[in-house]
Amino acid sequence: MQKHNYNFLLLMVLVAFSIVFTGCKKDDEPSVSTKAQLTTGIWKTVSRQFINSVDGKEVSNETKTPEGTQTWEFKSDGTVTVITTDSEGNKDTGTAKWELSNGDKTLTFIYSADDKEVATLKEISASKMILTTLMTESSDGQTVKYETIVTFSK
């Protein structure tokens, strides 16, 4: 009888421990909004990957790294400043407006009233961001897709 009580008591202790340890997990880090991640710090273009396909078949896939530097500073007022410095040190600065939409998965760059570029925000963290753009054309009965994947770091 004592052995039976001992086994029952041991079983109850194991059940209690399993409930306690599976129920108590470390709290996740507080989530940071996409806008806060985007507007904190300056992003540097690391690489651009160009994937072209015709009728669903990939015909080229090339990754390029910038010959100079390109930095992007997203500001909380909805503007972005892009500074491109070539390998000789010459700088070109451009600005645009930006908007997040579609549950913070779509980033639209607005250059003028009729000049916009839409990108999909594939990944964003405190130190890495990946944007993709896709352009589709139909010509001579074929569908041609041009996908660009841009990777950024801080």
pLDDT value of position 56: 92
Question: How far apart (Å, rounded) are the C-alpha atoms in residues 122 and 152?
Answer: 12
pLDDT tens, N- to C-terminus, the chain (154 residues): 455 555 555 445 454 455 545 555 455 555 789 999 999 999 999 999 999 999 999 999 999 998 899 999 999 999 999 999 999 999 999 999 999 999 999 999 999 999 999 999 999 999 999 999 999 999 889 999 999 999 999 9
Contacts of 111 (CB under 8 A, 6+ apart): 96, 117
The CATH number given to 34-153 is: 2.40.128.280
Q: What is the pTM of this model?
A: 0.76
Q: Is residue 65 within 8 Å of residue 47, measured between CB atoms?
A: yes
* DSSP symbol at 68: S
**Domain locations along the chain:** 34-153
pLDDT value of position 139: 85
pLDDT value of position 75: 97
Question: How far apart (Å, rounded) are the C-alpha atoms in residues 15 and 69?
Answer: 58
Q: Is residue 139 within 8 Å of residue 37, measured between CB atoms?
A: no
Helix (H) or strand (E) holding 35: helix 34-39
Q: Let me know if 43 is exposed, middle or buried by CB neighbors in 10 A (0-12, 13-18, 19+).
A: buried
CA 7 to chain centre: 53
pLDDT value of position 31: 77
How many beta carbons lie within 10 A of that of residue 42, not counting itself?
12
